[in-house]
Amino acid sequence: MSIRLGAVEYLNARPLVYGLEAFSDLFTLRFDVPAKCAALLHEGKIDLGLIPSIEYLKRPDYFVVPDIAIASKAAVASVALYTKRPITAIRSIAVDSSSRTSIALLRILCAKWFDVEPNFIKMPPDLSAMHKRCDAALLIGDRALYTEHEETTEFQKIDLGEEWETMTGLPFVWAFWVGRPDILSNAHIEALQDVRDRAIENLDAIADQFKPENLDDDLVDLANSYLNKNVHYRLDEKEKEGLKRFFEEAVDLGIAPTSSALRFY
């Protein structure tokens, strides 16, 4: 049976769908921004989504594909707060309107780590426009990865993955494959894991193929380094522990109504 997959076009998600066309009998694939991908899953318009991790808590019957995630052990490079002010002086933050997990993480860090209570204002991801309205700006995905090389150096880049690891000592899981119960066979699961394993052996090729057009050579190197060093693709015990802590912190702040144990296919 062909399963409808939803994923994002960010560079960090490409290793989880790279070569998926070899399994066209098992999957169809569409791309959207993270928030849209999650919404499609909630609405039943896709069967399995590579969704922001906080979205797992939206439904009590969701299941997770085992051993696959987009995660970081420290600095992630592609989820960051850009500010011209010291963190303690920030009173308002413009947040990328396509984000869900990153906003939840930022709210946790502000409350539990930075000790600030800013207003959060959703805006399109344009750093200049965001800073005209707010003290700081949250960017995610490829825009955050490449922004520091495109903008002036007047902004301080605060990496949220690094701040989470410093606060908790744990990895952070940004996204994973989530779907409704009873939709995946062992063949589907094995195919998704095989895609991941093959992609890990070809990260440089993936970075080169899916980099933005007209990148300078140093940015090509940045894309390669990002896939090889900043993110990884396994959902091991430490990652599960990091997810549990993230869910608990989200519930504590009222970001999510209740936490939930991970249920695997």
98-114 mean pLDDT: 94
What global pTM score does this model have?
0.93
93 and 106 Cβ atoms separated by less than 8 Å = yes
| CA 96 from centre of chain | 12
* Amino acid 213: pLDDT: 72
Residue 148 has pLDDT above 80, yes or no: no
Domain-by-domain residue ranges, the chain? 3-72+172-252, 79-168
* Amino acid 211: pLDDT: 76
pLDDT per position as a tens digit, 90-102? 999 999 878 889 9
Residue 152 has pLDDT above 60, yes or no: no
DSSP letter string, 189-211: HHHHHHHHHHHHTTHHHHHHHSS
- ∠ CA 60-72-225, nearest 5°, is 140
Residue 137 has pLDDT above 70, yes or no: yes
CATH placement of domain 79-168: 3.40.190.10
**φ and ψ at 61, to 5 degrees?**
-110, 10
* Amino acid 149: pLDDT: 52
At 134, which amino acid appears? C
DSSP letter string, 62-100: -EE-TT--EEESS--SSEEEEESS-GGG--EEEEETT-S
pLDDT per position as a tens digit, 41-91? 999 999 999 999 999 998 889 999 999 999 999 999 999 999 989 999 999
Strand-pairing partners, residue 64, are 178, 264
* Amino acid 163: pLDDT: 98
48 and 55 Cβ atoms separated by less than 8 Å = no
Same fold, 3-72+172-252 and 79-168: yes
CATH placement of domain 3-72+172-252: 3.40.190.10
175-182 mean pLDDT: 94
